[in-house]
């Protein structure tokens, strides 16, 4: 059964080779039916009565599944294709979401480091101002105020960018959700 599952998956991922994989699946299903019938006969001959009846129903179920698969291979591949493509799309969306989260985390770390550096610079300038004369101190304080203003503007810009990134993330998630719903409707 694993070989059939693999062949179904490969058929869904290689549309140009669907007919070849379809023949492989039909061949595997046919061989599975033959082997299952032989094993069923052996189990009926050698096994206890209780085991034989439960095993017989499992064997018959397996045979029915393989026959169905062989008869409806195109439908099976089509549905499997929709399923696998949906799963691959979801995995891709998850990967993209994680990449966006990682970018935001890196930006937050960078912002925190910038804030620390600015704080260290302010403290160093404060120490320098203690040794300055009155005029130099005023000039240094003006420069500090200008830098604080720029820091505030940078923070506000980053905050707005964060809000916009969150909006974009929600919009992207909604679009992906809508696409998934549309694909599910196509299947029905």
Question: Which of 16, 36, 71 finishes a domain?
Answer: 71
How many domains does the chain fold into?
2
Range of the domain at 34: 2-71
Secondary structure letter of residue 133 according to DSSP: -
Question: Given this model, what pLDDT does residue 134 score?
Answer: 79
Supply angle C-alpha 22, 76, 58, rounded to 5: 100
Does residue 80 belong to any structural domain of this protein?
no
Does residue 78 belong to any structural domain of this protein?
no
- Under 8 Å between Cβ of 80 and 96: no
Task: Print pLDDT tens along the chain (188 aa).
Answer: 688 788 888 888 888 888 888 888 888 888 888 888 888 787 777 766 555 566 667 888 888 888 888 888 888 888 888 788 888 888 888 888 888 888 888 888 988 888 888 888 878 877 777 777 878 878 878 888 888 888 888 888 888 888 888 898 889 888 888 887 887 776 56
Same domain, 43 and 105: no
For the record, the structure tokens of 169 come out as: 């993330």
Question: Given this model, what pLDDT does residue 114 score?
Answer: 84
Same domain, 66 and 93: no
């Amino acid at each position: 059964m694993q070989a059939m599952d693999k062949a179904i998956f490969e058929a869904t991922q290689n549309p140009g080779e669907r007919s070849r994989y379809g023949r492989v699946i039909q061949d595997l299903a046919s061989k599975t039916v033959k082997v299952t019938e032989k094993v069923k006969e052996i189990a009926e001959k050698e096994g206890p009565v209780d085991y034989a009846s439960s095993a017989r129903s499992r064997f018959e179920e397996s045979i029915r599944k393989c026959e169905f698969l062989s008869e409806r291979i195109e439908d099976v591949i089509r549905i499997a294709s929709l399923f696998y493509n949906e799963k691959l799309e979801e995995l891709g969306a998850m990967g993209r979401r994680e990449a966006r989260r990682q970018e935001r985390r890196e930006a937050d770390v960078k912002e925190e480091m910038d804030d620390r550096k600015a704080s260290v610079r302010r403290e160093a300038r404060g120490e320098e101002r203690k040794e300055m004369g009155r005029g130099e101190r005023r000039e240094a304080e003006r420069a500090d105020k200008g830098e604080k203003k720029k820091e505030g503007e940078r923070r506000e810009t980053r905050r707005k960018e964060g809000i916009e990134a969150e909006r974009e993330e929600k919009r992207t998630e909604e679009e992906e959700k809508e696409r998934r719903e549309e694909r599910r409707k196509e299947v029905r």
